[in-house]
Amino acid sequence: MTDTAATIPADLVARGLLDTPDVQALTPVTETFRMRITPQMLAAIGAPDDKIARQFIPDQRELTIRPEELADPIGDAAHAPAPGITHRYPDRVIFHVTQLCEVYCRFCFRREVVGDSGVLPPDKVAAALDYIRATPAIHEVILTGGDPLSLSPRRIAALTDALAAIPHVRLLRIHTRVPVVAPERISAEMLKALQRDSLTTWIVLHTNHAQELVPAAESAIGSIIGAGIPMLSQSVLLRGVNDDVDTLQGLFTSLLRLGVKPYYLHHCDLARGTSHFRTTIAAGRALMAALRGRISGTALPTYVLDIPGGFGKVPINADYFVPSDSTGTWQVQDPQGRWHIYQDPE
């Protein structure tokens, strides 16, 4: 495995993941949307067009910007009362502690800003913490970015110390790709920085394909869970990566086997230059309906859409219950697609 990340198309030629003539064509893509692929993910790519490569290697189709695509598709800026804060729901805030990631996903909904300005400066961290302290309704803080676990254990410890000292904050959620894409960062020092007696901490792992769960990633996940930190997962439904039942089943059952509860399957956001990744809502619903008949309910995530413009996240539910003409009478569909009648008791 190489020991440096790939950050420009030319870095991929020596690794056999790109042909030399492609470098010039892809340079405008990486000048518009940054590229970074960690050594761990470079090693996990089995072929130039496999399911991991498609997530990280630039594609000329990214320069096709559709009219409905947005620079801020989930509306972070519309709910920003303080630097680094998104406050969309009363009881929780997103705290953007860094704009750096270990990898830059080609479908990222924050692809316009990741890598722009690094770590949130100390004065803005202080202002964000002041806002959280002054808002007693906030019970949960969600660290995101960028990827918060790209920060040093020292910086993470400073954040967890500060949050643990706020009486009304009792839940900490950290959204990260690090245990999969840079598992070496999950050190004893990092685990210690995450553990605070007054905070219940959850790690939400972003992973989209079971091929990402290499032995080093499994070991990092085991270390987190072994330290008493529960884990959830979130994935993005991506055309050409995981938009088939077998692939999703393999991912979700692999995660559950490792002790990670599948939490969200996101419909791909309307980020600029990502239309080649998006499925239709109907296709996603059909996949979820097919999965329900094949895997345990504990392995099933909730399929969700972040409504464009900052209006919140909602489940995309299949219609298993359809009301009949008679009051209290329902048609119910089972996992095999058969319909049954259910009558509410009078």
Question: Are 101 and 145 contacting, i.e. CB atoms less than 8 angstroms apart?
Answer: yes
Name the nearest CA neighbour of 74 among 243, 280, 209, 267.
267
DSSP calls for 258-269:
TTEEEEEEEEPP
**Planar angle of CA 338, 339, 343, nearest 5 degrees:** 150
DSSP calls for 51-84:
TTHHHHS--GGGG---TT-BSSTT-SGGG-SSTT
pLDDT tens-place values along the chain, 346 residues long: 557 999 999 999 989 999 999 999 999 999 999 999 999 999 999 999 999 999 999 999 999 999 999 999 988 889 999 999 999 999 999 999 999 999 999 999 999 888 777 899 999 999 999 999 999 999 999 999 899 999 999 999 999 999 999 999 999 999 999 999 999 999 999 999 999 999 999 999 999 999 999 999 999 999 999 999 999 999 999 999 999 999 999 999 999 999 999 999 999 999 999 999 999 999 999 999 999 989 999 999 999 999 998 888 999 987 788 888 778 898 988 877 889 998 887 7
Pairing state between β 321-323 and 329-333: antiparallel
Number of neighbouring beta carbons within 10 Å of residue 102: 22
Q: What is the pLDDT of residue 346?
A: 72
Beta carbons within 8 Å of 27's beta carbon, 6+ residues apart = 8, 9
Q: HSE (CB half, 13 Å, CA atoms) of 5?
A: 14
Could you tell me the two tokens for 324?
Answer: 């009949």
Residue 329: DSSP 8-state = E
Element (H, E) at 92: strand 92-96
Computed from CA positions of residues 75, 78, 82, 86, in that sequence, does the dihedral angle turn out positive or negative? negative
The Cα-based distances of 160 to 132, 147, 315 in angstroms read 13, 15, 31
Whole-angstrom distance, CA of residue 131 vs CA of residue 3: 40
H helices present in the chain, as ranges = 10-13, 20-32, 39-44, 53-56, 122-133, 153-164, 178-181, 188-194, 215-226, 245-257, 281-292
Whole-angstrom distance, CA of residue 57 vs CA of residue 79: 32
Whole-angstrom distance, CA of residue 167 vs CA of residue 80: 22
Could you tell me the two tokens for 150?
Answer: 């790209």
Beta carbons within 8 Å of 2's beta carbon, 6+ residues apart = 15, 39, 42, 43
Active site residues: 88-89, 92, 101, 105, 108, 110, 269, 306, 313
The Cα-based distances of 332 to 62, 297, 302, 345 in angstroms read 42, 18, 20, 16
